[in-house]
Amino acid sequence: MDFKKILILLVAFIALQPIIDVLTAASIFIVETSLTAGVLLRAAYMLAIIALLLWTAVRSKMSRIFVAYLAGLALLLVVNVAVSLQFKEPYYLFQELKFFNKVIYFHIVLLGLLIAYRGLKVRGVDIASITTKYFRWSGLIIGIVFVVAIITGTSLTNYSYRKIGFTGWFYAGNEIGAIMAVVLPILALYAIRHTDSWKKPWAWAPFVLLAFGMLLLGTKVGYGGVLIVLLSVLIGSLIMRYLMRQHTDEVRANLKISAVLTALLLVVTPVTPVFSNVFVHINSLGIDFGGDEQTEGEEEPQEGEEGFEEEPEITGEQVQNLVFSSREKYEAVMREDFLSSPLPQQLFGLGFAGNYEEPEPGKELSMIEMDFHDWFYSFGWIGFIYLILPLVWYAGKYVVHFVKNIRTKFTYFYILYGVAFLLGIGISYTAGHVLTAPAVSIYLAAVLAMLTVHEGLLEGSE
C-alpha cells in the first residue's frame, strides 16, 4: 500500500465513527465489558497517528515540532502525577490515566491530521471534498441508526427520570449530540452543493434525517444545533443575495429551502422533547409560570387585592442552572478546591476530579463536564496554557485569514465549516464531552486541520 492510500485511510476513519459507537454500546450492554470496541479501535488509531508523526519527522521539520510538543505534553502529565501523588489521598492512578488519555487524544489527532492533510494536498488530493464526503457518510449512518432504532422500538433512552429523549443505539447521549451538531453543517453544505432548484430539495434528505435525530435527543444541544445551522444558511444566503448580489440558482434555491425548514422547525418546536424537558427543568427550579384557572367572566385580581400573584422572578442563578444544567455548581466547588490547593497543584493541576475523597458505594468520581474548565482545574495554569496552545494558534490563524479575505471567503463552504468548528467549541465550553471525548474530538480536529491546510496556513503546507 502506498503512502497516499495510508493517509486517505487515516482521514476515512472519520466515516467509521458511528459504527464504532454502535459497537461500543453493544460491548457495554451485551458483552458487559468496559474494554469496548471504541476503546480498542480509537487507541489503535491514536497509535497509527503517532507512528505517522514519527515516520515523517525524519524529513519534516513540522513533524519534528509536533513530536517535540507531544513529548512536552507527556512530561507535563508525569509532573501532574508526581504532584498528585504528593498531595492527593486517596489517589486512583488508573482513573487519572484514563482521563489523561481522553484529553490528549484531541492533540495527537489534530497534529497527526495536519501532517496527513498536508501530505494529501501535495499529492493532488482535494482534501475539502474527501472530508465532506466522510462527514456525510458519518452523518447519514447516524441518522439511519436513529430512525431504525425508533421504528423498531429499540432505542436507548437519554434520560432516566421525567425528561424525554432518545439516543438511538448510541450509549452516550451527550457525546452523540455533540457529534451530530458538528456533522450537521457539513450535511447542509453537501445539500447546498447538490441543490440548484427549490423544487428539487432531495439532497436535503440526509440533513433532515440527522436533524430529526437531533430533535429526538431532547437536549438543548440537539435543538440548538439544528436551529443554528439553519439560521446560518438562511442568513448567509440573504447576505449573498442582497448584499453581495449573488443571484445564482444555488443561492436562490437554498435561501427558500432554509427558510421553509426554519419555519417548519419553529412550528414543531412545541411538540419536540426539548420543549417539554425545558419546562420540567424550569419546574424543578421552583419557577411556576402557571396559575389557577379563572372562571369565565371573573375579573383578574389587581395588585394589592387578595388572590393577586406576582409574575415569577427568575434569578441569575436559575438562568445559569437552566443553561448549564447544574454544571456551574460543580465548577464553583472545583474552583474553591483549586484556590485552596498548594501552589504546585495550582501550577500543574489537581488531576482527575480534583482532590477527591473516596466515593460512596455505587457512585463514581465525575468532572464538571465543561471541557475548558476541566482542562484548567485538572492541569493548572501551566498545563492549561500548554494544552490550549495548538487550538488557539491554528484557530486564531484561520480566523485572521478569514477576516482579511472575507469578501472572497464568504461562501457556503467557509460559513458551514466555520459553524461546525464554532458549534464544537461552544458545546465544549457549555456542555462538555467534546475536547475530553475521543469519539467527538476527532471530528473537531479534522475540521480545524483540514481548514488550516486547505488555506495554506500550516508552515510548509504549500
**Element (DSSP H or E) covering residue 351:** none
Nearest to 217 by CA among 183, 176, 182: 176
How far is it, in rounded angstroms, from Cα 438 to Cα 201? 34
**Element (DSSP H or E) covering residue 258:** helix 249-268
How far is it, in rounded angstroms, from Cα 352 to Cα 65? 28
Q: How confident is the model at residue 197 (pLDDT cuts 50, 70, 90)?
A: confident
Q: How confident is the model at residue 160 (pLDDT cuts 50, 70, 90)?
A: low
Query: Is 425's pLDDT higher than 90?
Result: yes
Nearest to 181 by CA among 438, 425, 412: 425
Per the prediction, the chain carries an average pLDDT of: 89
Tell me the β-bridge partners of 166: 157
Residues 53-68: pLDDT tens digits?
A: 999 999 999 999 999 9
How far is it, in rounded angstroms, from Cα 206 to Cα 83? 49
| 170-197 mean pLDDT | 94
The CA radius of gyration of the chain, in Å to the nearest whole number, is 24
More confident call, 196 vs 81: 81
pTM, two decimals, is: 0.91
Q: How confident is the model at residue 292 (pLDDT cuts 50, 70, 90)?
A: very low
Q: How far are the Cα atoms of 66, 75, 237, 256 from residue 259, in angstroms, in the given order? A: 44, 52, 10, 5
Give first-to-last CA distance, the chain, whole Å: 25
> From the centroid of its chain, how far is CA 416?
15
How far is it, in rounded angstroms, from Cα 258 to Cα 196? 13
Helix (H, G, I), strand (E, B) or coil at 157: strand
- Predicted confidence at residue 358, as pLDDT, reads 80
- Predicted confidence at residue 446, as pLDDT, reads 98
How far is it, in rounded angstroms, from Cα 320 to Cα 76? 33
User: Cell numbers of 429, please?
Assistant: 465550553
Angle between helices 371-404 and 327-339 (to 10 degrees): 100
Phi and psi at residue 114, to the nearest 5°: -60, -45
- Predicted confidence at residue 293, as pLDDT, reads 47
Phi and psi at residue 167, to the nearest 5°: -120, 15
Query: Is 323's pLDDT higher than 90?
Result: no
3-state helix, strand, coil in the chain (%, to 5): 70, 0, 25
Query: Is 363's pLDDT higher than 90?
Result: no
How far is it, in rounded angstroms, from Cα 151 to Cα 169? 12
In this structure, which amino acid lies at residue 387?
A: L
Q: How confident is the model at residue 356 (pLDDT cuts 50, 70, 90)?
A: confident
How far is it, in rounded angstroms, from Cα 350 to Cα 303? 53
Query: Is 69's pLDDT higher than 50?
Result: yes
Tell me the β-bridge partners of 160: none
How far is it, in rounded angstroms, from Cα 286 to Cα 315? 11
Nearest to 423 by CA among 230, 243, 185, 193: 185
Specify whether the CB–CB gap between 388 and 441 falls below 8 A. no
Q: How confident is the model at residue 102 (pLDDT cuts 50, 70, 90)?
A: very high
- Predicted confidence at residue 71, as pLDDT, reads 98
Place of cell 482532590: 355
Q: How confident is the model at residue 172 (pLDDT cuts 50, 70, 90)?
A: confident
- Predicted confidence at residue 461, as pLDDT, reads 47
